[in-house]
Amino acid sequence: MATGEAPGATTDHGGSGTAVTLPGTDELPVGSVVTASGRVSAAEEFRDTPASGPFTPAQLGRLDEALTMCSRETGLRFAVYLGDLGEDPNGRVAQLHDEIEGSAEAVLVAVSPEQRIVEVLTGAGARVRLPDNGAKLAVMSMVTSFKESDLFGGLLSGLRMLADAAGERHHHR
């Protein structure tokens, strides 16, 4: 935020005290002044810029936390994709899943709100731990939340349900 003298304010800079009016200064925007050096100083109202996506920074933090906790608890890699899935949604979901490091142990939740698609894809290793009926229940729960315009809550509850269905990480000795 820039600072400057407010219009109409009297300031003694130790000079002769003579005010100087520059041509065109009557047309300055509200909150702008011409400083003693001739520079225009303008105060601007701070506006919080809207998030570049559907989630606030706090929600993104919570979603990241949920993904981390689900992965830690189960030993599987959880990932979320939110966006358009193109003309071949199944092919795009498979491609996205394959791009996940350690995709055999990965669980991808892909959501395309505009296309009204929610899909959970598991790798071969993850599929052993996360049965289809567990994934279907999580998808049904997410869809119910999405219909109520709760994208964030739906993703959080869906991740929790998927992690619960997969069970805890097996520790080998």
Across 12-19, average pLDDT: 45
Predicted confidence (pLDDT) per residue in 108-161, tens digit: 999 999 999 999 999 999 999 999 999 999 999 999 999 999 999 999 999 999
Mean pLDDT of the chain: 81
User: And the tokens for 161?
Assistant: 């349900």
Q: What is the pLDDT of residue 8?
A: 42
Does pLDDT of 4 surpass 50?
no
Distance separating alpha carbons of residues 148 and 9, to the nearest angstrom = 54
Confidence at 168, pLDDT banded by 50, 70, 90: confident
Lowest mean pLDDT among 30-34, 46-50, 52-56, 148-152: 46-50
The pTM of the full predicted model, rounded to 2 decimals, is 0.68
